[in-house]
Amino acid sequence: MGRARPGQPGSPSPPAAQPPAPPRRRARSLALLGALLAAAAAVRVCARHAEAQAAARQESALKTLGTDGLFLFSSLDTDGDMYISPEEFKPIAEKLTGSTPAASYEEEELPPDPSEETLTIEARFQPLLPETMTKSKDGFLGVSRLALSGLRNWTAAASPSAVFSARHFQPFLPPPGQELGEPWWIIPSELSVFTGYLSNNRFYPPPPKGKEVIIHRLLSMFHPRPFVKTRFAPQGAVACLTAISDFYYTVMFRIHAEFQLSEPPDFPFWFSPGQFTGHIILSKDATHVRDFRLFVPNHRSLNVDMEWLYGASESSNMEVDIGYIPQMELEAMGPSVPSVILDEDGSVIDSHLPSGESLQFVFEEIKWQQELSWEEAARRLEVAMYPFKKVSYLPFTEAFDRAKAENKLVHSILLWGALDDQSCHCSGRTLRETVLESSPILTLLNESFISTWSLVKELEELQNNQENPSHQKLAGLHLEKYSFPVEMMICLPNGTVVHHINANYFLDITSMKPEEVESHLFSFSSTFEDPSTATYMQFLKEGLRRGLPLLQP
């Protein structure tokens, strides 16, 4: 019997094989894949081409302008497109022509009200004393006169007086339900030790927004280029209520701001007062301001940090110094008064008597129902800005008197600039924003130590004061152990230093890997995740180990 051939009638068919993809669909898929690959390649080519073009433009600009010229160009080219737009060129135009376009701040967009109250604010300014700068000791050797030109030329306030509407001070009003002495942020700080700091390579402040406007306008009375937000944390402005009546508030505030004293083609020069503080008495609807004062505290021997660049990039060398400014103050000349006076029918009344004298306004006495002392309010604002101040840092000699009374060791920090304001330099900033505000350190300091911090300059003055030998000795024992820039010490109540560590060494070892640290005194502990906190805890405990047996029973 013969085998039937496939395809012949009556022959069984084998299982059908899967038909191949239709040629048209396969071709479409391949074409799409090819297009995607080509597009990706084109994007890479375009990106490389754009990078090459940018590099070529940068190189061409460097050849054409030179390093300093390119620095000036880049400082104006804010979007980095290698073109100067009219908006970017505006600062130079204003500088050359001497004209400034009308401001477009939010408050100025409000329609004027002829019946609103205004007040005159006067600026009082005494320039920084050059002889207080550290670099003055060697006659500013190595410091070019050009670098300090902005500082030397700033001899008077930009605006000796200015008129403000009472409503402009509305940002100083507290949030609803705010309690006496409870701080709130007028301008919140946006920086921390984790976010880093803002660029040094800037000349012109960004346009102020919202609540920044009134502070910018006030600070502009001193100098035309105030930066409401500082380059370093803590930024902003914080306030608290110090008195409350039926119709009025007294608000105390603290502001951290700085000024740029240079303009192109000079390199940036930053002028950073330790702080601005002050108070305002205003009605609860901000239609009347009874009193206003803003000032840089001048009770310490140094109160301003200065930093200036010596080059045409962010990584250029920077010089740092500190000095003293005797007066930087704004004060209202009197309460706010109506611009015009209206009668009951809304008609304008002549604001002058027949004799020609201005009408005199009589203001009711404010009866305060709740009040808080200036010292306590200042402390609360300080803690809001600097959490490490949850530990009380007493004045130098007072700390040793307290240590004797309580039979405790003294935790002392000796440094070049103030620890609790913006005149502090880099090492101090790092300490206060990290270990000094950590919970374990705060707890141990509060329980076992009396704390203090001091300026080197102030201890040098104390050491040279012949009137009090015991204070002389305390200062001398500290200065013997001091090394630039910051020295942390553990002392007996008689001033003997039992343990100390320099901030630079401390920061170096906390940035090393645990296995790289040789000294057993500063080995890392597994108790804390943060090596800085662990190391500072070891430092304090070693101080206790050495010092407690030496305390008088």
Give domain status of residue 32, yes or no: no
Give domain status of residue 186, yes or no: yes
pLDDT tens-digit series, residues 62-111: 778 776 566 667 666 766 777 777 766 765 655 444 444 444 444 444 45
Give domain status of residue 161, yes or no: yes
Cα angle at 169 between 163 and 174, to 5 degrees? 165
Give domain status of residue 148, yes or no: yes
Q: Which two tokens stand for residue 550?
A: 């030496």
Q: Calculate what percentage of the chain has a pLDDT beyond 90.
A: 55
The CATH number that applies at residue 442 is: 3.40.30.10
Burial class (CB in 10 A: 0-12, 13-18, 19+), 61: middle
> Are 505 and 484 in a shared domain?
yes
Last residue of a domain, one of 60, 95, 130: 95
> Are 216 and 342 in a shared domain?
yes
Overall average pLDDT of the 495-505 stretch: 94
Question: Which comes out higher in pLDDT, residue 522 or 149?
Answer: 149
117 confidence band (pLDDT: 50, 70, 90): very high
Instruction: Please state the length of the chain.
Output: 553
Count the neighbouring beta carbons within 10 Å of the beta carbon of residue 22: 9
User: Cα(502)–Cα(387) distance, rounded to whole angstroms?
Assistant: 22
Give domain status of residue 11, yes or no: no
> Are 376 and 390 in a shared domain?
no
Question: Which comes out higher in pLDDT, residue 104 or 134?
Answer: 134
Residue 450 clears pLDDT 70, i.e. is over it: yes
114-123, 129-138, 221-230 — which one is most confidently predicted on average? Answer: 221-230
> Are 412 and 434 in a shared domain?
yes
Count structural domains, the chain: 3
pLDDT tens-digit series, residues 367-387: 999 999 999 999 999 999 999
> Are 340 and 390 in a shared domain?
no
Residue 541 clears pLDDT 90, i.e. is over it: yes
Burial class (CB in 10 A: 0-12, 13-18, 19+), 494: middle
> Are 343 and 418 in a shared domain?
no
pLDDT of 44 reads 59
209 confidence band (pLDDT: 50, 70, 90): very high
Q: Which domain holds residue 429?
A: 386-512+527-550
pLDDT of 509 reads 82
Overall average pLDDT of the 514-534 stretch: 58
> Are 459 and 540 in a shared domain?
yes
> Are 270 and 411 in a shared domain?
no
Task: Kindly list the distances between the CA atom of residue 36 and the CA atoms of 31, 32, 33, 162, in Å, as whole numbers in the listed order.
Answer: 9, 6, 5, 64
> Are 191 and 248 in a shared domain?
yes
> Are 65 and 129 in a shared domain?
no
> Are 207 and 326 in a shared domain?
yes
> Are 169 and 308 in a shared domain?
yes
Residue 53 clears pLDDT 50, i.e. is over it: yes
Give domain status of residue 20, yes or no: no
Task: Kindly list the distances between the CA atom of residue 534 and the CA atoms of 13, 217, 516, in Å, as whole numbers in the listed order.
Answer: 83, 45, 15
Count the neighbouring beta carbons within 10 Å of the beta carbon of residue 130: 14
- Range in 325-329, 346-350, 538-542 with the lowest mean pLDDT: 346-350
Radius of gyration of the chain from its Cα atoms, rounded to whole angstroms: 33
Q: Which two tokens stand for residue 120?
A: 């005159």
114 residue type, one letter: P
Give domain status of residue 405, yes or no: yes
Give domain status of residue 28, yes or no: no
Residue 394 clears pLDDT 90, i.e. is over it: yes
Q: Classify residue 80 as left (phi > 0), alpha (psi -120 to 50) or beta.
A: left
